[in-house]
Amino acid sequence: CHLIHYLRLSHHLIVLNYLICTFDKLKSVSSEHINITDAVFDGVEVRVFEPPGKQDEMLKRSVVYIHGGGWALASARTSLYNNLCRIMAESLNAVVVSVEYRLVPEVCFPEQFHDALRATKHFLQPDVLAEYSVDPNRIAISGDSAGGNLAAAVCQQLSKDEHLTIRPKLQALIYPVLQAFDFNTPSYQQNMNMPVLPRYVMINYWIDYFNGNHDLAHSLVINNHTALDVGQALSFRGRLNWTSLLPSSFKKNYKPVVQTTGNAEIIQEIPALLDVRAVPLLAENETLQLQPKTYILTCENDVLRDDGVMYAKRLENAGVEVTLDHFDDCFHGCMIFTIWPTDFSAGVQTRNSYIKWLDENL
């Protein structure tokens, strides 16, 4: 009955998102502080936020931002993300490019990844940066939740592209979703019924992203897809060993859930479960060594807390400079809730900390 309940909740969220996006999408209305325009970067829609240029001013910093919503919800043009990107552009005096990637169910993996990658690579071209007066040495790629997933995956891909002359200086990931290998990390166990993002809802987002069968949800919950007898998962196991990657304050008394016998057919049916473009936490160390200086924000009351903490530790182990910004009293998705009627102190607190780090490091 829990599964039925959360499937209904997931469906409800999609309907709600349709209504929100239908009535809440904002036109690109500029103000005296920020010029907002809609553009297309290599076939991908983007919204660009530009502070007014001043005479003799140096080139500006820039952030490529990828919104969250389980690869299925929200939009760069809804008021919540429009407001976040406008405030970022004002606070940082930076050009912010918000990527309007296509969503489930119109497209599934890997199309969201390809959209985000194409738009980012287009923007990183020297002539495009010059058009927007952006300093090629001061660009960050960032995103929240599923957008943090796409930002991390895009950053990994860019780091391996030998033809690129310009790469991001920083990546900033806000409560990112980074793996579908283990749905029983301590944070998944601790927050399995937490509002906003219960475990079953997150699993259903993954299934929808991969265009998979929802009948597999229960098997995923108990980690049947990565049981000890599933050979495809064996090489990845060491890259996501939370018993060694998490501090004791997060592990608490939780025990790993590792099935001896599982269901190898799940990986055969949904190979993307082990595709690093979808699950960046499973990337090899050689790729992690190439990543730029990184900021990761995590919240205690969030199933995804340990995804971010483990990625921070793996990057740190690979020699990357990492700032892990953890909030004990905050919840998944809080950073976009800063305007009435959902103006929460948690949103302002996390947003200010995130922007402060970008300001000091970009």
Residues that are catalytic: 145, 302, 332
Alpha helices in 256-344 (DSSP H): 265-269, 285-288, 305-317
For the chain, first and last CA: distance in Å? Answer: 48
Cis preceding-peptide flag for 198 (omega within 30 of 0):
no
**What is the three-class DSSP state of 52?**
coil
Paired residues of 144 in beta bridges: 174
Task: Give me the residue label for tokens 């939009």.
Answer: 75
Q: Give the helix/strand (H/E) hosting 13.
A: helix 2-24
Torsion of CA 204, 103, 64, 20, to 10 degrees: -90
| DSSP β-ladder status, 170-174 and 44-50 | unpaired
- DSSP class per residue in 121-138: HHHTSHHHHHHTTEEEEE
Determine phi and psi for 62, rounding to 5 degrees.
-150, 150
- Measured distance CA(27)–CA(82) in Å, rounded: 10
Tokens 């993002």 locate to 197
Residue 168 to residues 50, 119, 241, Cα–Cα distance (Å): 19, 13, 29
The answer to whether the beta carbons of residues 17 and 146 sit under 8 Å apart is: no
CA dist 341 → 76, 233, 338 (Å) = 19, 45, 9
